[in-house]
Amino acid sequence: GHLGDPLEALRRVGGREFAAIAGAILAARMQKIPVLLDGLAATAAAAVLHGVNPAALDHCLLASLSPEPAHAHAAQRLGLRPLLDLGISHGEGAGAALAAGLVKAAALTSSGMAAAVRD
68 among known catalytic residues: no
Cβ neighbours for 8, distance < 8 A, ≥ 6 positions apart:
2
Distance between CA atoms of residues 33 and 81, nearest Å: 19
> What is the distance between the alpha carbons of residues 57 and 48, in angstroms, rounded to a whole number?
10
CA gap 50, 64 in Å, rounded: 19
Question: What does residue 35 show for φ and ψ, rounded to 5 degrees?
Answer: -125, 130
What residues act catalytically? 92
